[in-house]
Amino acid sequence: MSLTIGTMMALSFVVSLIGLAFLIWAVASKQFRVDQSDAEVIFSGAEGEDHAPDDPTSFGFQRDAEPGEGTDTRHRKLIFALIGFGTFWLVLGSIFGVIASLKLHLPDWLTGSAPLSFGRIRTMHLNSVIYGWLSLAGIGVAMFLVPRLFKTPLRGVNLAWGGLVLWNIGVAVGVYAIATGWTDGMEWLEIPWQVDILLAAGGACFAAPLVLTAINRNVHHIYVTAWYYLGALVWFPVLFVIGNLPIHTGVQGATVNWWFAHNVLGLWLTPIGVGAAYYVLPKIIGKPIYSYRLSLLGFWALALFYSQVGMHHLIGGPVPTWVVTLSVVQSVMMFVPVIAVAINQHVLWGSNLWAFKQSLPLRFVAFGAVMYTLASFQGSMEAVRAVNTVTHFTHYTVAHAHLGAYAFVSLVLFGTVYYLMPILTGRLWPAPRLIALHFWLVAIGFGVYFFSLTIGGWLQGLAMLDASRDWLESMQLTQPYLEGRSVGGTLMTLGHLLFAINLLSLVFAARRSTDAVDTATPATSAS
């Protein structure tokens, strides 16, 4: 093999291995000089192990409440707007998704217009939920968490407002362009690159304030959540710009396509979800994360190994074998960071099940954190050629995508929003039962969705591999499972409507005193 880009990329695996080995050595030999006492000095309120649980809706507002640095809420309207527009795209995207799902088993339905054809409406669903819902809500959560993690007010709030406008216009124009049939023609990169310029500019307007805030930090030690958010802020703009440059064609285009598409999940949505869970779980429970060193391992192993996992989507394609093999190996290496994160997060909430039972936001976030572990394990296995042979080009892959992007990231975001809104507004959720209903709708809906498509997809894959069976059989046998998917998707969409109603009722409700709402909270007289 001559010295090509290929050799360099294979070398990158070796470099990653050396990096991981070095990290493990450094952690083991205590090169990172942060010990228990450091942790407590860093966080002034952190003496001792046990703190009162923090989730106003379930446990009431805290009596030791006291504004800390970085917790000022002058920019809270920005956060409301980000989450609000995100929710708008969530509801719209879910409706697109349900329509696309129904069309798979009701092919004669809504055949009259091109924008409603399956190919377009499914793509509109994808782009609405990825760039509209997950990205906007994730940035909203970042705008909430980053200032308080760095103990300094958010910088450049007006710039971020500009970003919100640009980003929303970008997503709206992009989704409209897809409806009219104008796309770049590659999965996850469908929004025409001309429109992507808007998104890139909007993204820069989001990233700059957060990075400025980090630069002006008032803490020495940076908490793990902030690593993930800063990492995502550096990674995603690079991915987005390179992936959308209109210069990739042919096999190279396909390679860049999947490199980008998978990295959106792993280096953008995953940090958003994992970072939020790393904050909300210990915050609500009032106890620390299991191990700082595992946090280090989890973060750096993700950074080292994730960037090249996407090309396992091209197994069997006309790309060099070593590209795919490298990608398969990197995918399986993802077990390392996932196990690290799993221990850190699941030990915490698993040993505090009383909080899991009482706090609805915690329930969303813990459920999402478990789904991260499962989605990642499943993804590593799917990348292996023997499994991929069956699952490739089937509904199984769709189920897996929703396990990651929905059950993991979306549920963590739901929980985080349910946690932070009472803190930002000073009001309790008016109807906690609707939150519980939201949880059960999306949890049950997702279960129906996931198991339908996983079983149906696997059978579909086996049928396609069996040369003695007619190919059409592999389509026909999926029909009951596709109907199951529509049922699950509809339940999830109803849950999203409830989420929107909950948000509206909190934000736009007349200023009512909390006693009318929650008996656990004594009457208050607003100043």
Site mask, other proteins, residues 76-115, x = CB under 8 A? x---------------------------------------
Closest residue by Cα to residue 521 from 17, 57, 60, 115? 60
**CB-wise, 249 or 527, nearer to other proteins?**
527
Six-digit token string for 225: 């959540």
Which segments within 358-486 are labelled E, that is strand?
none
CA distances in angstroms from 151 to 68, 219, 419, 449, listed in the order given = 7, 7, 19, 41
- Please report, as residue ranges, which positions from 132 to 151 form the binding site for other proteins (by CB under 8 A): 148
CB of 429 to other proteins, least distance (A): 14
Structure letter (DSSP) for residue 216: T
CB of 34 within 8 A of CB of 221?
A: yes
CB of 345 to other proteins, least distance (A): 11
Q: How far apart are CA 492 and CA 94, in angstroms?
A: 8
**CB-wise, 117 or 325, nearer to other proteins?**
325
**CB-wise, 168 or 213, nearer to other proteins?**
213
CB of 152 within 8 A of CB of 232?
A: no
- Please report, as residue ranges, which positions from 356 to 385 form the binding site for other proteins (by CB under 8 A): none
Residue 10 touches other proteins, criterion: CB under 8 A: yes
Q: How far apart are CA 168 and CA 140, in angstroms?
A: 13
Six-digit token string for 134: 């997950």
CB of 203 to other proteins, least distance (A): 27
Q: How far apart are CA 303 and CA 267, in angstroms?
A: 8
CB of 527 to other proteins, least distance (A): 6
Per DSSP, helices labelled H in 184-223 are 193-215
Residues shown for the chain: 527
Six-digit token string for 77: 């309207």
Residue 5 touches other proteins, criterion: CB under 8 A: no
Q: How far apart are CA 304 and CA 211, in angstroms?
A: 22
Window of 10-18, 159-167, 178-186, 364-372 that interacts with other proteins by CB under 8 A: 10-18
CB of 326 to other proteins, least distance (A): 6
- Please report, as residue ranges, which positions from 185 to 224 form the binding site for other proteins (by CB under 8 A): 223-224
Residue 116 touches other proteins, criterion: CB under 8 A: no
CB of 284 within 8 A of CB of 362?
A: yes
CB of 268 to other proteins, least distance (A): 22
Which segments within 127-259 are labelled E, that is strand?
none
Tell me which of 113, 218, 249, 468 binds other proteins, using CB under 8 A. Answer: 468
Residue 51 touches other proteins, criterion: CB under 8 A: yes
**CB-wise, 18 or 436, nearer to other proteins?**
18
Tell me which of 26, 204, 241, 319 binds other proteins, using CB under 8 A. Answer: 319
Tell me which of 5, 386, 510, 526 binds other proteins, using CB under 8 A. Answer: 526
Tell me which of 17, 114, 215, 245 binds other proteins, using CB under 8 A. Answer: 17
Tell me which of 44, 111, 180, 479 binds other proteins, using CB under 8 A. Answer: 44
CB of 282 to other proteins, least distance (A): 4
For the stretch 449-472, what's the b/e string if a residue is b when 16 or more beta carbons lie within 10 angstroms of its beta carbon?
Answer: bbebbbbbbbbbbebbeeeeeeee
Tell me which of 82, 166, 175, 326 binds other proteins, using CB under 8 A. Answer: 326
User: Dihedral (C-alpha) 436, 438, 439, 445: value to the nearest 10 degrees?
Assistant: 140
Window of 36-44, 97-105, 165-173, 492-500 that interacts with other proteins by CB under 8 A: 36-44
Residue 294 touches other proteins, criterion: CB under 8 A: yes
CB of 312 within 8 A of CB of 327?
A: yes
Tell me which of 426, 440, 504, 512 binds other proteins, using CB under 8 A. Answer: 426
